[in-house]
Amino acid sequence: MRQIKCNLIWILLVFFVAGTPGHLLKGEEPMRFVQDRFAIGFWVDPPMDEKGAERYKEIAEANFTLVIGGFGAGTAEQIKKQVRLCEENGLKGIVGTANLSPENYISGEGCWGFLMQDEPNAAQFPALASRVAKNRELHPGKLSYINLFPNYANAAQLGKPNYEEYVASFMETVRPDVLSMDYYPIFKPDADGRDGYCGNLDVMRRYSLKYNVPFWNFFNVMPFGPHTDPTEGQIRWQIYSSLAYGAKGILYFCYYTPGGGEFPKGGAIIRGDGTRTRHYEEAKRINGELKNLGGALMQLTSAGVYRVTPKDNPSEILKDTPIKDITRRPEDPELDYLIGIFKHKDGRTGVLINNYRFAYTAWPTVEFRVDLSKIREIDKARGVEAPLYDDSPEIPGLQISLGAGDGRLFVINEK
What's the confidence (pLDDT) of residue 1? 41
Give 30's pLDDT tier (boundaries 50, 70, 90). confident
Q: What is the tens place of the pLDDT at every residue in 157-195?
A: 999 999 999 999 999 999 999 999 999 999 999 999 999
CATH of domain 30-298: 3.20.20.80
User: Residue 153 and residue 187: Cα distance in Å, rounded?
Assistant: 19
Please tell me the chain's helix, strand, coil percentages from 3-state DSSP, rounded to the nearest 5.
35, 25, 45
Q: What gap in Å lies between CA 268 and CA 256, rounded to an integer?
A: 6
- Which residues contact residue 169 at a Cβ distance below 8 angstroms, ignoring those fewer than 6 apart? 122, 125, 160
29 band by pLDDT with thresholds 50, 70 and 90 = confident
The pLDDT tens digits for 371-384 are: 999 999 999 999 99
Q: Tell me: pLDDT of 11 over 60.
A: no
Give the pLDDT confidence score for residue 260 in this predicted structure: 87
Calpha distance 81→185 (Å, rounded): 35
HSE at residue 335, side-chain half, CA atoms within 13 A, is: 22
In tens, the pLDDT along 238-267 reads: 999 999 999 999 999 999 999 888 999 999
Mean pLDDT, residues 286-303 taken together: 98
Residue 19 has pLDDT above 70, yes or no: no
CATH number for the domain whose boundaries are 301-412: 2.60.40.1180
CB atoms within 10 A of CB 415: 7
What DSSP letter does each residue of 206-257 carry, written as one string?
Answer: HHHHHHT--EEEEEE-S-BTTBPPPPHHHHHHHHHHHHHTT-SEEEEE-SBP
User: Tens of pLDDT along 336-355?
Assistant: 999 999 999 999 999 999 99
153 within 8 A of 201, measured Cβ to Cβ:
no
Q: Do the domains spanning 30-298 and 301-412 agree at the CATH topology level?
A: no
- Place 27 in a pLDDT band, splitting at 50, 70 and 90: low
Summarised one tens digit per residue, pLDDT across range 75-126 is: 999 999 999 999 999 999 999 999 999 999 999 999 999 999 999 999 999 9
pTM: 0.93
pLDDT tens figures, 198-228 = 999 999 999 999 999 999 999 999 999 999 9
- Sorting pLDDT into bands at 50, 70 and 90, what band is 26? low
Encode burial over 220-233: b for 16+ CB neighbours within 10 A, e otherwise: bbbbbeebebbbbb
For the chain, the structural domain boundaries read 30-298, 301-412
- Specify whether the CB–CB gap between 206 and 242 falls below 8 A: no
The strand order across the sheet containing 39-43 reads 39-43, 249-253, 215-220, 179-182
pLDDT(414) > 90: no
